[in-house]
């Protein structure tokens, strides 16, 4: 996730205390972070809440960000992933739950009505993947991220991510009808 | 589009090579599906509100000192990029400045268009002069000039303080939030440019050059102060522009609304029954009515935040135990809070200030709008208060405009939460005109306010030193003792005695 020149300037200014610069960084990333969290939660209000938490945490820990280790966007994605995991673990008191896909049933799961139909179709298949595999699949096919970007976010090598993605898709393709598989690839809710 | 399709096809073939033979069918299918993007229900209002919140939080966070900031910049690998950006800015400013100098001929539409988009022009430090109140401003101008003849500044002061009757607050505010850090030595104050510019061409376009009852053009070059139009239909609106105040309003043409009531003789029409709580539309219904009107009439709300239905009336409604006599208003506002430089604007009670769309609950239609103003501002730096204790003390007193008396000995304690940074609308009366300023302030939420009495929902305290320094408590009237009544004049006493006999 290469940073553009203006983003480099904004990060420097934000770290030096320019609050408007942080606002500009927010403008650059809010949509994709929100989308990423929506794909993990299937629920607008929850995704909004987690987006708020993600950016608040980023603001609070801005001075710990190291531009030599990762891009700002990658750093934000990591915070977002951890925030989502914390949310589900706290809510359900189960340590093995990392996002909405891991929930065994839809009891007390907040879910947007139209998304629910789509999720029902593919959940049985996606639930068999690991949370990390799901993140790789959603970032690759729904958010159009490169393997290099994904690798940086999940903290694995690019080759490992490619392998993981390929295995995940093969597993899904084996089990899913082609139509459902295509819908998954396109992120198109069935309405 | 083809790139996306190709990428998806490659992903597909990588996992199922047999699909390669079906590319002709797959390609249009994928194209069709791609055209309908997934809906993640991203809400732009939410994004704007969160941005404001983040910027407000950033403002109250502990910040490195100026020297630390400079060191960070010098040490960083972006120092050269920043230098380049600053150079570009210096070169751009004159271009922007000169491009604003032209005064093209304008009709009414272009006059409105010119002031609709947000602009903030930075002026020098303290560019708006003194921010003191009318009393101090007047005093200073009278005593200026020095010399033996100058008047005494103290005795000349016009005391403009509010006079309040003897009263003891049944509650006291106590700050219970996080420690406040005020690091900025100076903060940015904004002034709205109310004047909508040269309106002479607007005037010419309105009255033309012809004669008749009077030849208006004979007055020569004229400007427009206000203009009003109205719809001559049932449930029509009047709408107008005040060019000197830079405001636009819409009102119901009252006599053409509720015509049954207005046209039934000399005021002997039956009063409509009071509304009950069940008549009040839901918030979402109120918002939909307001938004529909805003969209239909092309009202530019880009300078305003996420609208909400004003629920202030509910405080009094809930406090009244006898719901039969509780008042449910006929008109409820939907407020689009004004936002300047990512800071929400509050009025001097701490309540959100902005565009108000008034909805008549009886007919569920917009009844008027106000608060739609020019969006051109100037900004200037002013010394900021850095003593958090002073701010907290003022907050516990109810803010600058919420003090109505000392708390009673048995006053109930009400907590104030951690404040957020906002701008407070502040009027400054100078040389016969009201300047409309927006000064940085902290707004404190009132936590767990009791429902059986009216308590303000927010407390706001400005952060500009000069505004605080010129603040004075209202004049409190003293209780008058009735144990020593005023003696009646002798002739009156005589008459009184005769009457008693």
pLDDT score at A159: 82
Indicate the burial class of B377 (C-beta count within 10 angstroms; 0-12, 13-18, 19 or more): buried
d(CA B190, CA B340): 9
Q: What average pLDDT does this structure show over A23-48?
A: 88
Supply the DSSP symbol for B478: P
Q: What average pLDDT does this structure show over A180-189?
A: 60
Top pLDDT among B159 and B433 is at: B433
Q: What average pLDDT does this structure show over B148-158?
A: 38
Confidence of residue B195 (pLDDT cuts 50, 70, 90): confident
Q: Count of CB atoms within 10 A of residue B190's CB?
A: 22
Confidence of residue B188 (pLDDT cuts 50, 70, 90): very high
pLDDT score at B271: 63
Please determine, for residue B215, whether its predicted confidence score (pLDDT) is greater than 60.
yes
Q: What is the pTM of this model?
A: 0.55
Closest alpha carbon to B463 in B401, B389, B386, B397: B386
Q: Show the CA angle centred on residue A33, arms to residues A32 and A39, nearest 5°.
A: 85
Residue B25 DSSP SS3: helix
Q: What average pLDDT does this structure show over A24-41?
A: 89
CB within 8 A of B433, min separation 6: which ones? none
Contact B38 A17 (CB under 8 A): no
d(CA B56, CA B422): 7
d(CA B400, CA B404): 10
Structure tokens that stand for B490 in this block:
């002798």
Q: What is the mean pLDDT of chain A?
A: 75
Contact A23 B342 (CB under 8 A): yes
Closest alpha carbon to A46 in A109, A107, A102, A101: A109
The residue of chain B with its CA nearest to that of A166 is: B15
pLDDT score at B101: 32
pLDDT score at A118: 56
Residues on chain A touching B120 (C-beta within 8 angstroms): none
Find out whether B372 and B299 touch, Cβ atoms under 8 Å. yes
Please determine, for residue B428, whether its predicted confidence score (pLDDT) is greater than 50.
yes
Q: How far is A26 from chain B (nearest CA, A)?
A: 7
Structure tokens that stand for A85 in this block:
């995991």
Residues on chain B touching A38 (C-beta within 8 angstroms): 40-42
Please determine, for residue B298, whether its predicted confidence score (pLDDT) is greater than 80.
yes
Q: What average pLDDT does this structure show over A1-17?
A: 76
Give the phi and the psi of residue B170 in degrees, each rounded to 5: -80, 0
Contact A188 B51 (CB under 8 A): no
pLDDT score at B100: 28
Contact A182 B50 (CB under 8 A): no
A163-188 exposure pattern, b = at least 16 Cβ within 10 A, e = fewer: ebbeebbebbbeebeeebbbbbbbbb
Query: Residue B336, Cα to own-chain centre: how many angstroms?
Result: 9
Q: What average pLDDT does this structure show over B230-249?
A: 89
Find out whether B378 and B120 touch, Cβ atoms under 8 Å. yes
pLDDT score at A138: 77
pLDDT score at B489: 55
Please determine, for residue B207, whether its predicted confidence score (pLDDT) is greater than 70.
no
d(CA B33, CA B13): 18
Taken as a whole, chain A contains a residue count of 191
Please determine, for residue B286, whether its predicted confidence score (pLDDT) is greater than 90.
yes
Q: What is the mean pLDDT of chain B?
A: 74
The kind and range of the H/E element at B388 are helix B388-396
Closest alpha carbon to B394 in B462, B301, B490: B462
pLDDT score at B141: 34
pLDDT score at B456: 80
Q: How far is A129 from chain B (nearest CA, A)?
A: 16
In tens, the pLDDT along A85-144 reads 888 766 544 445 555 555 555 444 455 555 555 556 566 666 777 878 888 877 877 777
Contact B81 A141 (CB under 8 A): no
Q: How far is B78 from chain A (nearest CA, A)?
A: 6
Contact B39 A189 (CB under 8 A): yes
pLDDT score at A95: 42
Find out whether B73 and B85 touch, Cβ atoms under 8 Å. no
Confidence of residue B160 (pLDDT cuts 50, 70, 90): low
d(CA A76, CA A189): 26
Taken as a whole, chain B contains a residue count of 501
Q: How far is B421 from chain A (nearest CA, A)?
A: 12
Please determine, for residue B492, whether its predicted confidence score (pLDDT) is greater than 50.
yes
Structure tokens that stand for B309 in this block:
């239905």
In tens, the pLDDT along B410-427 reads 888 999 999 999 999 988
In tens, the pLDDT along B340-371 reads 988 999 998 899 999 999 999 989 999 999 89
Confidence of residue B14 (pLDDT cuts 50, 70, 90): confident
d(CA B373, CA B246): 6
* Largest Cα–Cα separation, chain B: 124
Our CA dihedral for A52, B347, B183, B473, rounded to 10 degrees, sits at -140
d(CA B36, CA A188): 7
Give the phi and the psi of residue B6 in degrees, each rounded to 5: -60, -45
Contact A52 B50 (CB under 8 A): yes
Top pLDDT among B198 and B236 is at: B236
Residues on chain B touching A114 (C-beta within 8 angstroms): 39
Residue A3 DSSP SS3: coil
pLDDT score at B152: 37
d(CA B49, CA B344): 9
pLDDT score at B35: 57
Q: Count of CB atoms within 10 A of residue A139's CB?
A: 24
Please determine, for residue B266, whether its predicted confidence score (pLDDT) is greater than 70.
no
Confidence of residue B309 (pLDDT cuts 50, 70, 90): very high
Distances (CA, A) of B221 to B55, B131, B210, B217: 47, 35, 15, 8
> DSSP E strands: which ranges in B401-456?
407-416, 420-430, 433-445
In tens, the pLDDT along B70-111 reads 333 334 433 334 333 333 333 333 222 222 233 334 567 777
d(CA A18, CA A22): 7
Return the residue in A14, A16, A72 with the most chain B beta carbons within 10 A, the one to mutate for interface testing.
A16
Find out whether A11 and B76 touch, Cβ atoms under 8 Å. no
Ramachandran quadrant class, B5 (left: phi over 0; alpha: psi -120 to 50; beta: rest): alpha
Q: What average pLDDT does this structure show over B380-402?
A: 92
Residues on chain B touching A188 (C-beta within 8 angstroms): 33, 36, 38
Confidence of residue B248 (pLDDT cuts 50, 70, 90): very high
Contact B55 A47 (CB under 8 A): no
Residue A177 DSSP SS3: coil
Q: What average pLDDT does this structure show over B158-170?
A: 60
Contact A23 B11 (CB under 8 A): no
Q: Which of A22, A142, A166 sits opposite B15 (nearest CB)?
A: A166
Parallel/antiparallel/unpaired status of strands B119-122 and B376-383 = parallel
Q: Across chain A, how many H-helices and E-strands are there?
A: 9, 0
Residues on chain A touching B12 (C-beta within 8 angstroms): 185
Q: How far is A9 from chain B (nearest CA, A)?
A: 6
Find out whether B343 and B49 touch, Cβ atoms under 8 Å. no
The residue of chain B with its CA nearest to that of A57 is: B54
Which range, of A21-35, A109-123, B170-184, B409-423, averages the lowest pLDDT? A109-123
Confidence of residue B135 (pLDDT cuts 50, 70, 90): very low
Find out whether B228 and B249 touch, Cβ atoms under 8 Å. no
Contact B46 A173 (CB under 8 A): no
Which range, of A20-24, B185-189, B488-492, averages the lowest pLDDT? B488-492
Find out whether A1 and A33 touch, Cβ atoms under 8 Å. no
- Range among A81-95, A162-176, B152-166, B287-301 with highest mean pLDDT value: B287-301
d(CA B300, CA B308): 17
Please determine, for residue B334, whether its predicted confidence score (pLDDT) is greater than 90.
yes
Confidence of residue A81 (pLDDT cuts 50, 70, 90): confident
Which range, of A134-148, B45-59, B160-174, B303-317, averages the lowest pLDDT? B160-174
The residue of chain A with its CA nearest to that of B10 is: A166
Structure tokens that stand for B75 in this block:
């040490």
Top pLDDT among B36 and B491 is at: B491
Q: Show the CA angle centred on residue B434, arms to residues B400 and B382, nearest 5°.
A: 60
Which ipTM score applies to this complex?
0.76
Q: Which of B33, B58, B342 sits opposite A188 (nearest CB)?
A: B33
In tens, the pLDDT along B470-491 reads 876 666 555 544 444 445 556 5
Distances (CA, A) of B99 to A33, B85, B232, B379: 39, 21, 42, 19
> What is the percentage of chain B residues whose pLDDT exceeds 90?
29
Confidence of residue B10 (pLDDT cuts 50, 70, 90): confident
Confidence of residue B394 (pLDDT cuts 50, 70, 90): very high
Find out whether A135 and A155 touch, Cβ atoms under 8 Å. no
Q: Which of B15, B36, B58 sits opposite A59 (nearest CB)?
A: B58
d(CA B392, CA B174): 9
Contact A186 B8 (CB under 8 A): yes
Q: Show the CA angle centred on residue B281, arms to residues B275 and B286, nearest 5°.
A: 125
């Amino acid at each position: 996730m290469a940073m553009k020149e203006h983003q480099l300037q904004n990060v420097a200014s934000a770290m030096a205390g320019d609050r408007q610069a942080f606002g500009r960084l927010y403008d650059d990333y809010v949509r994709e972070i929100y989308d990423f969290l929506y794909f993990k939660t299937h629920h607008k209000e929850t995704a909004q809440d987690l987006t708020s938490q993600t950016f608040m945490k980023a603001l609070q820990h801005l001075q710990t960000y190291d531009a030599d280790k990762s891009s700002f966007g990658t750093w934000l994605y990591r915070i977002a992933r951890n925030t989502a995991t914390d949310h589900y673990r706290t809510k359900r008191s189960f340590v093995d739950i990392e996002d909405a896909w891991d929930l065994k049933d839809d009891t007390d799961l907040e879910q947007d009505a139209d998304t629910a139909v789509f999720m029902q179709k593919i959940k049985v298949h996606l639930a068999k993947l690991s949370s990390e595999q799901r993140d790789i699949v959603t970032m690759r096919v729904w958010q159009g991220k490169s393997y290099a970007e994904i690798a940086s976010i999940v903290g694995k090598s690019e080759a490992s991510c490619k392998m993981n993605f390929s295995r995940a898709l093969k597993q899904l393709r084996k089990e899913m009808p082609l139509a459902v598989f295509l819908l998954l690839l396109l992120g198109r809710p069935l309405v | 589009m083809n790139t996306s399709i190709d990428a998806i096809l490659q992903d597909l073939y990588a996992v199922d090579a047999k699909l390669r033979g079906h590319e002709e069918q797959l390609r249009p299918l994928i194209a069709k599906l791609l055209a309908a993007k997934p809906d993640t229900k991203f809400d732009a209002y939410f994004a704007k509100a969160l941005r404001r919140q983040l910027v407000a939080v950033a403002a109250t966070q502990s910040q490195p000192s100026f020297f630390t900031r400079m060191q960070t910049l010098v040490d960083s690998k972006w120092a050269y990029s920043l230098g380049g950006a600053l150079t570009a800015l210096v070169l751009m400013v004159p271009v922007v400045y000169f491009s604003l100098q032209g005064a093209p001929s304008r009709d009414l539409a272009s006059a409105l268009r010119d002031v609709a988009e947000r602009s903030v022009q930075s002026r020098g430090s303290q560019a708006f002069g003194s921010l003191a109140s009318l009393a101090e401003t007047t005093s200073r101008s009278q005593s200026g000039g020095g010399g033996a003849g100058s008047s005494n500044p103290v005795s000349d002061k016009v005391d403009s303080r509010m006079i309040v009757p003897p009263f003891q607050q049944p509650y006291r505010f106590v700050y219970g939030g996080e420690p406040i850090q005020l690091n900025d030595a100076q903060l940015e104050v904004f002034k709205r440019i109310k004047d909508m510019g040269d309106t002479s061409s607007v005037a010419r376009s309105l009255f033309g050059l012809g004669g008749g009852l009077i030849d208006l053009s004979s007055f020569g070059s004229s400007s427009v102060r206000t203009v009003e139009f109205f719809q001559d239909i049932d449930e029509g609106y009047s709408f107008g522009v005040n060019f000197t105040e830079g405001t636009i309003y819409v009102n119901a043409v009252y006599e053409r609304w509720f015509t049954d009531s207005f046209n039934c003789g000399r005021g002997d029409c039956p009063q409509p029954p009071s509304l009950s709580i069940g008549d009040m539309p839901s918030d979402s219904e109120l918002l939909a009515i307001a938004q529909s009107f805003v969209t239909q009439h092309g009202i530019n709300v880009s300078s305003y935040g996420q609208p909400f239905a004003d629920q202030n009336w509910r405080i009094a409604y809930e406090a009244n135990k006898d719901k039969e006599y509780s008042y449910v208003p006929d008109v409820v506002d939907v407020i689009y809070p004004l936002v300047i430089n990512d800071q929400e604007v509050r009025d001097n009670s701490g309540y959100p200030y902005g565009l108000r769309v008034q909805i008549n609950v009886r007919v569920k239609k917009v009844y008027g709008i106000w608060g739609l103003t020019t969006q051109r501002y100037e900004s200037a730096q002013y010394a900021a208060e850095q003593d958090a204790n002073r701010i907290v003390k003022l907050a516990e007193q109810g803010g600058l405009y919420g003090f109505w008396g000392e708390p009673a000995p048995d006053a109930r304690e009400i907590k104030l939460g951690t404040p957020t940074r906002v701008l407070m609308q502040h009027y400054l009366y100078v040389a016969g005109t009201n300047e409309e300023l927006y000064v940085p302030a902290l707004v404190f939420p009132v936590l767990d306010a009791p429902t059986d009495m009216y308590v303000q929902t927010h407390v706001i305290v400005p952060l500009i030193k000069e505004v605080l320094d010129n603040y004075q408590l209202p004049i409190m009237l003293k209780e008058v003792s009735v144990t020593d009544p005023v003696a009646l004049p002798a002739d009156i006493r005589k008459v009184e005695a005769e009457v008693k006999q």
